[in-house]
Amino acid sequence: MTRSLHVSRALYSDAQRYLAGGVSSDARRVAGVPLYVDRAEGARLWDVDGNSYLDYVLGQGPALLGHCPPAVVEAITAQAARGMVYSAQHAAEVRVAERICAMVPSAERVRFNTVGSEAVHAALRLARGYTGRSRILKFEGHYHGWLDPVLYSVHPAVDAAGPADSPIAVPGTAGQQPGHADDLIICPWNDLDALTRLMDRHAGQIAAVITEPVLCNTGAIRPDPGYLEAMRRLCDEHGILLIFDEIITGFRLAPGGAQEYLGVMPDLSVFGKAMAGGMQVSALAGRAAVMDHISTGKIAHAGTFNSQPVGIAAAEATLRVLDERREEVYGTLYARGSALMEGLRAAADKAGVPMLVDGPGPVFQTYFTGAPAVRDYRGFAATDRAMMAGLHAALLDRGVNIVPRGLWFLSTAHTEADIAATVDAFADALGAL
């Protein structure tokens, strides 16, 4: 199948004259013409050429309730008429912070930001200020925003990344300050022996361990049983703060995020994406004993658009639905996700294609591999990512939009009929490949 892309091609031609690289984010670089969306509603997108797509990108995850959910649209519209930026406090931010503290197991205090990278930066600064230490332990394959201090060893070339059990810090871009790598310790994910060894080696130096509790920026990889529990214990033994980067998992896997889903409590957490239905709101939350070091004025945290009222209105409307209708919302997400995963597995088996379909359900990954599991970045890197790019293009031509690396997000707007249509399109795409 071939989509009509006449208008999209013309727009892309113009974009290359005025936008660096023709796009506004490197995540939107694709082979050929990028997707130019005209509008979105529910589980669907329509592009500028009139093509319709079942959408499993959902704005990289935020549209948990589907695109333009009426309650959120109504809240945004009402607040925009009352004011879009105050640079002052307002009642809604207090209500949203209170609801987050009620929903998220580890949250006793909250500070708002605009995007996830800012919230991560705030968490790391707070951890360093609280502990008086400078070093951060992060995991290979984990993404914590595009700012210089943490953009290391996300998807490095394996031949440049060092030994599997002792990776080196590989910068994610030219232009990073080389000294930032000195403050990072890179650890393989799901390797408790390596984690224990590195913590012992750098005892008294590490301010925080930061992790995606379910690794969603490199596949959709759950922690091994007992792994996060051991990480929590090791952090306590060494006086290290544990930070969960729940930008993707927060409010998607459970009302209280991955920490509720997995039953492990961090000291600090960062949230974004799904908390405001797509509006630009992020949050740093955590234990009062740590968070209150911001309120003393010792540790700076500021921003003109922090708790911006239109975004907070969207967060209030979204979190009310997720909290007060939790059984309906999460029952639907897990049921639809499970059905889609089973359908994709069956289609791949029928086509004789070695494929792994894995993840919690509200978010999951498809991998071209004969391996029975993918447990870390090196396992992900060994899958056939070029074939996955081909699948992404074939699915777009058949009206299904997924994250190019093979990640799928579900929303409450996806219906059983949508799932069936997606499985049919997937089977056809595999045949074309």
Instruction: Return the pLDDT at 93.
Output: 97
The catalytically annotated residue of 56, 143, 152, 330 is 143
Q: How big is the chain by its Cα radius of gyration, in Å?
A: 21
Instruction: Return the pLDDT at 200.
Output: 97
Instruction: Give the 3-state DSSP-derived string for 310-352, with helices as H, strands as E and coil as C.
Output: HHHHHHHHHHHHHHHCHHHHHHHHHHHHHHHHHHHHHHHHHHC
Q: DSSP assignment, residue 148?
A: G
Is 258:235 a contact under the CB 8 Å cutoff?
no
pLDDT level of residue 1 (50, 70, 90 thresholds): low
| Whether pLDDT at 199 is above 90 | yes
What residue ranges do the domains of the chain occupy?
Answer: 6-68+326-432, 70-324
Query: Count of CB atoms within 10 A of residue 152's CB?
Result: 25
Confirm whether 245 is a catalytic residue. yes
Top-confidence residue, 303 or 322: 322
Instruction: Please classify residue 334 by burial: count the beta carbons closer than 10 Å to its beta carbon, then call 0-12 exposed, 13-18 middle and 19+ buried.
Output: middle
Top-confidence residue, 234 or 278: 234
The closest alpha carbon to 221, from 377, 371, 61, 64, belongs to 377
Report the run of H or E that residue 291 belongs to, with start and end.
helix 288-295
| Whether pLDDT at 60 is above 70 | yes
CATH code at 70-324: 3.40.640.10
The catalytically annotated residue of 53, 261, 273, 358 is 273
Distance separating alpha carbons of residues 388 and 382, to the nearest angstrom: 12
CATH code at 6-68+326-432: 3.90.1150.10
Is 74:317 a contact under the CB 8 Å cutoff?
yes
| Whether pLDDT at 297 is above 80 | no
pLDDT tens track for 247-292: 999 999 999 999 999 999 999 999 999 999 989 999 999 999 999 9
The catalytically annotated residue of 55, 245, 267, 358 is 245
The closest alpha carbon to 154, from 224, 229, 232, 245, belongs to 245
pLDDT tens track for 178-188: 888 889 999 99
Q: Token pair 């992404």 is at which residue?
A: 392
Confirm whether 138 is a catalytic residue. no
Q: Token pair 């996700």 is at which residue?
A: 337
Beta-sheet pairing, 355-358 with 407-409: unpaired
Is 241:268 a contact under the CB 8 Å cutoff?
yes
Confirm whether 298 is a catalytic residue. no
Average pLDDT over residues 216-237: 98
pTM, full prediction: 0.96
414: helix, strand or coil: coil
| Whether pLDDT at 63 is above 80 | yes
